Structure 1
């Protein structure tokens, strides 16, 4: 395991960032879904939103410092971190890293590689779909001529888009909604490809193991039917 200052920092603050990500998503969801929210609660959710984003910013700057890279090089090599900092609704995917730490025991993953890929992809899809449905609902339900009027419509649209089905019965009409749709379609293709590839690889390994052992174990063979044995006649 790498023991650099950057690696130690990422190991120590992983849980903190995961909790901050969930708090950010919860505060944003309350602001979007709770109609007629009292001013005090609205201000509290807004404060939580900005406070958690400040945590993300501090983490980004600390990792920039610990990486000992020039800012432009850090931006090129950590472009996804920069994108997530600009679009904080993607931060809840950090929960996947916490889940990975929980699944590990003595630095070894408790689940196989294929099971981890499927678990991480499923968790990422659920979090991304929830965040996308909130954003699309926030911008679409008040837009003129929009077909997404309720949060249920937004969830249905997110599910069909993320799964790459795309019935076309609902579609965003605002620029922000369409931008979210493009990103969700790309994420859906990537996650679906990861799950399909992992499952196919697992099936090929199972068939390969069966091909290497064409004969059943000795205990399962009928008496006198050993491989390669010649039939004897009296």
Structure 2
């Protein structure tokens, strides 16, 4: 679907502000988890920031929908955006707002043509590690049988889970924690596949460039050989000398 010019301009102008808001969301999400003894005012302020960021992304979706020429097709092709906008309204849990914001940031990053695949993958890895660690710590820290009690334990668990190593020294015991573990495992496998495919595509592109250059050089040599033969024929014709087999005769 070809995007209208107004929609493209809107996406370019709002890309950086939305990423700045996403960073604000990251800080607001992390503060109450890293500092569980934070005051009620701080927690309320962080909660307000989270909702403001989600509201900004929701507004961005509504504006892009209004600027789209074919709105039905826009909704079908951006269904993840719609799910991310509606998700926090179904049940106002902090984890749902986390998932919604990650989805929206990811979709907006894909739309940005200047964001390269490598940068996107690296950002995705850092974001998943950070948010995965914070999310599992928030649900496992107060669990009676939980063994993820500190941020260090949570980060270590996220690393071993995303890389599918799974040492087993730290593991979630709650239902939500296990859902997070499944999400991190699948995300780690998907990102590894993207990195592998990107490296393979780079090698294939290099081989194709070498092949094209070799064919170009071969064609240049063939053309040069034909030109030399033509010049020899002209010289022979001007001098009256036989050319090729005639000289042997």
TM-score normalised by L of structure 2? 0.69
Aligned to 1:44: 45
CA deviations 1:27-58 (Å, max 9, x no partner) are 01001111311222222212212221211221
1:88/1:7 CA distance change after superposition, 3 Å: farther
Give yes or no for the alignment of 1:171 onto 2:171.
yes
1:196 aligns with 2:205: no
Q: Assess, with a 3 A threshold, how the Cα gap between structure 1 residues 191 and 206 changes in structure 2: closer, same or farther.
A: same
Runs of 4+ aligned residues of structure 1 deviating over 4 Å after TM superposition are: 95-101, 207-214
**Structure 1 residues 70-219: aligned runs within 5 Å:** 70=72, 74-85=74-85, 86=87, 87-90=96-99, 91=101, 94=105, 104=114, 116-207=116-207
Q: Which residue of 1 aligns with 2:29?
A: 28
Once the two structures are superposed, the pairs formed by residues 61-76 of structure 1 within 5 Å of their partners are: 61-67=62-68, 68-70=70-72, 74-76=74-76
User: Distance between the aligned counterparts of 2:110 and 2:63, measured in 1?
Assistant: 23
In terms of mean alpha carbon deviation, does 157-166 or 58-67 score higher? 58-67
- The answer for unaligned runs of 5 or more in structure 1 is 110-115, 215-234
Secondary structure of 1:149's counterpart equals coil
Alpha-carbon distance in structure 1 between the residues aligned to 2:213 and 2:67: 51
Deviation of 1:205 after TM superposition, in Å, equals 3.7
In structure 2, relative to structure 1, the CA distance for the partners of 1:100 and 1:75 (3 Å cut) is: closer
- Between 1:53-62 and 1:130-139, the stretch displaced more is 53-62
Aligned counterparts of 2:35 and 2:171: Cα–Cα separation in 1: 23
Q: Deviation at 1:184? A: 1.5
RMSD (Å) for aligned C-alpha atoms: 2.9
SS in 2 for 1:36: coil
SS at match of 2:118: helix
Going from structure 1 to structure 2, the CA distance change for 1:17 and 1:212 (only over 3 Å counts) comes to closer
Q: Which runs of 5+ in 2 are unaligned?
A: 88-95, 215-249
Q: Report the Cα distance in structure 2 between the residues aligned to 1:2 and 1:74, rounded to whole angstroms.
A: 9
Deviates further, 160-169 or 27-36: 160-169
| Distance in 2 between residues matched to 1:66 and 1:100, nearest whole Å | 15
CA contact (8 A) 1:25 1:92 kept: no
- CA drift of 1:196 comes to 0.9
Residue 205 to residue 64, structure 1, CA distance change in 2 (3 Å): closer
SS of the residue corresponding to residue 178 of structure 1 reads: helix
Q: Could you say which structure has the larger radius of gyration?
A: 2
Q: How far is the alpha carbon of 1:4 from its aligned partner?
A: 3.0
Range 85-94 or range 117-126, more displaced: 85-94
